[in-house]
């Protein structure tokens, strides 16, 4: 571990592991260099040149990933930097979110990897914030899914939290989610639920249903959380009435920002939104050098 103690502490405050973040940062730099050097910077910039760069928002949104960008900077040897916003803060066009001073070549080496992390995570946080705002007047919470970029799940789910959302399970071992294929393979929804309870009695269990009949079976069986798969508003309202608060309900499938409010107002506890991580638009952030002449 080569990160500064201050940065390690900041990463842990975000419920992230510093070694994981540092490893990602190192691998992104290695990917960029591909075993060579930055030929453009080496050819055009003196080795001893020093510059000051500012990471600025070019679109408004919710900022996320500042500690990750700072990790990239430290990995390439730029340790003189200042994070100017808190994770989850709203930024406007022109907001300087991070300022760094160091070797010019190193700043340019860090630029793309740092911006890729910042833009992607801020895009997820910004989209999540929009969903959360749509249902803020209800009890429904916006939850993510496992539809994340391979090996970036921890960061992307962190960005969801930054945007005000709630994380679903992080891995297959955290909790059970019995879906349609499990139900078919197990011989029925109640049989699948009973098998989980028997083999993993302490693991949280969520069961997917696509009919009100299945819902009633699971309420009787003692399920705690049921996912309503692709149910329309009328069916969802009926499911809420049927459960009468005995189980928690999560709507999934066919959800959009346009209908989120209506689904949340049915009384469900969660809206499962894969789009938070698989369809977020990158927030436009750039690095600009200050003219120091």
**Residues with catalytic annotation?**
112, 147, 179, 208, 229
| C-alpha–C-alpha distance, residues 75 and 82, integer Å | 15
Contacts 24+ apart (CB under 8 A), 225-231: 225/249, 225/250, 226/250, 227/177, 227/251, 227/252, 227/272, 228/252, 228/268, 229/180, 229/253, 230/254
Q: Which two tokens stand for residue 38?
A: 């930055």
The helix-helix angle for 66-75 and 5-13 (nearest 10°) equals 150
The answer to whether the CB of 283 falls within 8 A of the CB of 122 is: yes
Range list of β-strands (E), 165-269:
176-178, 205-209, 225-229, 248-252
Torsion angle (degrees, nearest 10) of CA 180, 181, 187, 190: -40
Distance CA 65, CA 61 (A): 13
Q: How many helices (H) and strands (E) does the chain have?
A: 12, 12
Residue with tokens 């066919």: 254
Structure tokens at 43: 């050819």
Which of 266, 234, 125, 259 is closest to 250 using CA atoms? Answer: 266
- Looking at residue 293, the DSSP 8-state letter turns out to be -
């Amino acid at each position: 571990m080569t990160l500064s103690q201050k940065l390690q502490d900041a990463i842990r405050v975000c419920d992230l592991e510093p070694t994981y973040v540092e490893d990602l940062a190192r691998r992104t730099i290695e990917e960029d260099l591909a075993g060579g050097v930055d030929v453009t910077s080496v050819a055009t910039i003196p080795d001893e040149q020093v510059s000051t760069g500012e990471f600025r928002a070019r679109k408004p949104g919710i900022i996320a990933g500042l500690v990750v960008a700072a990790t990239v900077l430290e990995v390439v040897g730029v340790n003189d930097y200042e994070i100017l916003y808190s994770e989850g803060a709203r930024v406007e066009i022109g907001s300087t979110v991070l300022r760094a001073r160091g070797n010019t070549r190193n700043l340019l080496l860090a630029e793309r990897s740092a911006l890729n992390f910042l833009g992607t995570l801020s895009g997820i946080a910004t989209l999540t914030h929009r969903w959360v705002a749509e249902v803020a007047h209800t009890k429904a919470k916006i939850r993510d899914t496992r539809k994340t970029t391979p090996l970036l799940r921890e960061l992307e789910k962190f960005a969801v939290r930054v945007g005000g959302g709630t994380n679903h399970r992080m891995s297959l071992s955290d909790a059970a989610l019995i879906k349609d294929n499990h139900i078919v393979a197990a011989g029925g929804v109640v049989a699948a639920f009973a098998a989980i309870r028997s083999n993993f009695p302490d693991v949280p269990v969520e069961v997917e249903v696509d009919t009100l009949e299945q819902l009633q079976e699971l309420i009787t069986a003692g399920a705690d959380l049921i996912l309503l798969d692709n149910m329309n508003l009328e069916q969802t309202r009926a499911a809420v009435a049927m459960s009468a608060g005995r189980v928690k309900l999560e709507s999934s499938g066919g959800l959009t920002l346009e209908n989120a409010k209506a689904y949340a107002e049915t009384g469900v506890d969660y809206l499962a939104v894969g789009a938070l991580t698989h369809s977020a638009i990158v927030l436009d952030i750039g690095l600009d050098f200050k003219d120091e002449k």
